[in-house]
Structure 1
Amino acid sequence: MEKVKHVLTYGDVFVDYIATNTSNTSFNRHLGGATVNVATGVSGLGVPSEFITITGDDETSTFVRNELLNEGVNLSHAIITPKKRVSGVYIQLTSDFDRVFASYVNETPDLQVTYEQLKSQSFEDANIFHFCSGTLFHPKARTTTQKAIELAKNNHVICSYDVNIRLLRWENEELCRQTVCEFLPSADIGKLTKEELAFLMETESFEEGMMRLSRYAIPLVLVTDGENGTYAGFQNQIHHVPEIPVQAVDTTGAGDAFMAGIIRHVYLFGLPETKQEVIECTNFGNQMGALCATKIGALTAMPRMAEWKKNN
């Protein structure tokens, strides 16, 4: 009996400490991070999900691992290094109850998954490998990502890349732009926002940006533009797929839910080969992003398959 393939994701875990009130003196703890959201989002959509990351042996790391396991994410090849401390993001509330990024704490930035710790079995049993730029700022993690892509390509695994730029983690904009772009040719699926397209391609013209991006020869490019929907670049053509109208209450994590939807569709049906398949795939991603936006939170708002079926 053939073993069921999984979606393999690599990235950092974060703990979001979100203020409980506008005094910003007490905080609730939530599991966070773009790749975490995608790994759990994929699992919630009924697809086997495995996550490669690194945690420590302290109480916060135990909380992180338990949360991932509770979400159905396989951690067989995740790394535990006792001295590692999970990064924390503190989010405060303004008087109008808007969320504001207050501080970022990373006590052990140099403790990363090394390329030697990657297990070839993870990639042999994978259907899709997903990563983002969140770890590429660190040289050790960058090398690990390169090795992971190599293992994926050697095993004919589809590579999914959400650029997901967070400039605060980089020394400067040019290093960020150069590094993020270096990984674009490795992607079979490339996802970025309209703002990230302008930043990476150094033009405010959407058409010029898409033309410059086409030089990287990514089979399927997805450019999200909030309530304006998604632009899918496929075979030198751009297809606009409208957003799903919903009453949005919180867009946190909507892009990750979109990505989980895209990955689920490609996992089941393969990379799109026609315009109609591109539209169907993108539309499903849009539906997942829209569902996420109707709920508060990120990971807690990731759509479940039963929820989607109820609405369709």
Structure 2
Amino acid sequence: MNKRTVVCLGELLIDFVPQTNGQPLAQVDTFRKAAGGAPANVAAAVAKLGGKSRFIAKVGRDAFGDYLQEALYEAGVEPVLVRTDEARTGLAFVSLREDGERDFMFYRDPAADMLLRKEEIKDDLLSDGAIFHFGSVSLIAEPCRTATLHAARRARAFGALISYDPNVRLPLWTNADFARRVIVDQLPLADLVKVSEDEIAFLFHGADIEEGARLMLELGPRCIVATLGAAGCRVFTKKGGIAVPGVPVEPVDTTGAGDSFVGGLLCRLAEAGIGAEQLEEAMAEESFVRDVCSFANATGALTTTKRGAIPALPTRAETLAKLGREV
């Protein structure tokens, strides 16, 4: 079977995004609701770019859960949402600096997505996946931590490439040391890891990008992709590193930019039929890396030019146009 589906699992929530930049959260008067949650953003990015994606999560049996399901449908994602009365759908309030960078306040004590259980994830949701993607937010608490790791291991057993985003959000964890240990402990499960410069420094006690990538590769992943914001990204395998410059834009809101980057990357890897066994060789080939990472960089950059995460995701035509390529 020629697999192309990117299966994502994790948090799905409402981002309340301010209508103006440059105000601290306490002074924001007007917010607009937008669908969010890092792995959900990835799934939506893949779909908006013309790929096939499925998203697995738990939401409240409430109006926001209804809204999120509809938002995923509209983005082209296959949503597999378990509904619950145990907790409400999670919320995040965002404030934006003048440069589009963000501060967050989360309402998750608990949120519905934290209550996903492994028995609610059926094998048929994983067996056709070319890629399985998850992040660290779903590792914070039980039962979702066990459910997430169970799904990743089952997806690997079915032959999927495993993609992992450490996505450090320290305000959600009980303490930094626990967060670091749990996040690093899952690196051996991954084939591909997307990580930021700041996350490398946190996870490896001040390590720079090169040292952090080396340490992660030693733990088992085949490829590390370090994102550098406007400067682009750097790709590391045991065969060396390749830098790919960013795509210039005027940012308004950086929410979801890293997730959009991941979506662009995973979409192209799935299209190319790159599985776990081919990943290291493919991501050591400079022409291939420049092609797929330029696409991912453009996808992430364009997402920053509009407010919100899923509402801001570009189409394939918009991404290719930004790169001066034909559709």
TM-score, structure 2 normalization: 0.87
Distance 1:10 1:17 in 2: 22
CA distance in 2 between partners of 1:195 and 1:41 (Å): 23
User: Secondary structure of 1:262's match?
Assistant: helix
Q: How many residues align?
A: 309
- 1:216–1:100: structure 2 CA closer, same or farther, 3 Å change rule? closer
Supply the distance in 2 between the matched residues of 1:242 and 1:98 (Cα, whole angstroms): 20
Q: Which moved more, 1:147-156 or 1:205-214?
A: 205-214
CA displacement, residues 48-77 of structure 1 (integer Å, 9 cap, x when unaligned): 1111000122111111111111111112x3
Matches of 2:161 and 2:15, distance apart in 1: 30
Q: 1:308 aligns with which of 302, 314, 319?
A: 319
State which of 50, 58, 66 in structure 2 corresponds to 1:62: 66
1:174 counterpart letter in structure 2? D
Q: Which amino acid aligns with 1:305?
A: R
| Structure 2 portions without partners, runs of 5+ | none
Which amino acid is the alignment partner of residue 11 of structure 1?
G
Secondary structure of the residue aligned to 1:153 is: helix
Q: Equivalent residues in 2 for 1:102-117 (5 A)? A: 103-109=105-111, 112-117=115-120
Aligned residue number for residue 284 of structure 1: 295
Corresponding residue for 2:53?
49
Structure with the bigger RCO (C-alpha within 8 Å, sep 6+) is 2
1:249-278 alpha-carbon deviations (Å, 9 max, x no partner) = 332221111101110111011132542223
**Which position in structure 2 is the counterpart of 1:8?**
7
List gaps (5 residues or longer) in structure 1. none
Letter in 1 for 2:179: C
Asked if structure 2 preserves the Cα contact closer than 8 Å seen for 1:202 and 1:209, the reply is no
Deviation at 1:296, TM superposition (A): 3.0
Letter in 2 for 1:258: F
Cα distance in 1 for partners of 2:33, 2:111 equals 21
Counterpart position of 1:230:
233
SS at match of 1:40: helix
Cα distance in 2, alignment partners of residues 244 and 304 from structure 1 = 16
Pairing of 1:248-259 with structure 2 (within 5 A): 248-259=251-262
CA distance 1:5–1:232, shift in 2 (3 Å): closer
CA distance in structure 1 between the partners assigned to 2:195 and 2:269 by the alignment = 17
Residue 296 (str. 1) matches residue 307 (str. 2): yes
> Matched residue of 1:196: which SS?
helix
Supply the distance in 2 between the matched residues of 1:177 and 1:100 (Cα, whole angstroms). 22
SS of the aligned residue for 1:176 comes to helix
Question: Which one-letter code corresponds to 1:230 in the other structure?
Answer: C
Bigger shift: residues 161-170 or 96-105? 96-105
Q: For residues 143-162 of structure 1, give each alpha carbon's deviation from its aligned partner in whole angstroms, at most 9, with x where no partner exists.
A: 11110111111100111111
Aligned residues: percent identity? Answer: 29
Which whole-Å CA distance do the structure 1 matches of 2:18 and 2:258 have between them? 23
1 CA distance for matches of 2:228 and 2:3?
34
Evaluate the alpha carbon distance shift between residue 268 and residue 176 of structure 1 in structure 2; reply closer, same or farther with a 3 A threshold: same
Structure 1 residue 97 displacement after superposition: 9.7
Query: SS of the counterpart of 2:294?
Result: helix
* One-letter amino acid of the counterpart of residue 268, structure 1: E
Is the CA contact 2:34–2:309 (under 8 Å) kept in the aligned structure 1? no
What is the rounded CA distance, in whole Å, between the counterparts of 2:243 and 2:102 in structure 1? Answer: 32
Is the CA contact (8 Å cut-off) linking 2:10 and 2:57 kept in structure 1?
A: yes
Aligned partners of 1:24, 1:202: CA distance in 2, in Å?
35
Separation in 2 of the partners of 1:42 and 1:158? Answer: 15
Q: How far apart, CA to CA, are the structure 2 residues paired with 1:201 and 1:93?
A: 28
Give me the whole-angstrom Cα distance separating, in 2, the residues matched to 1:106 and 1:17: 14
Report how far residue 245 of structure 1 moved: 2.5
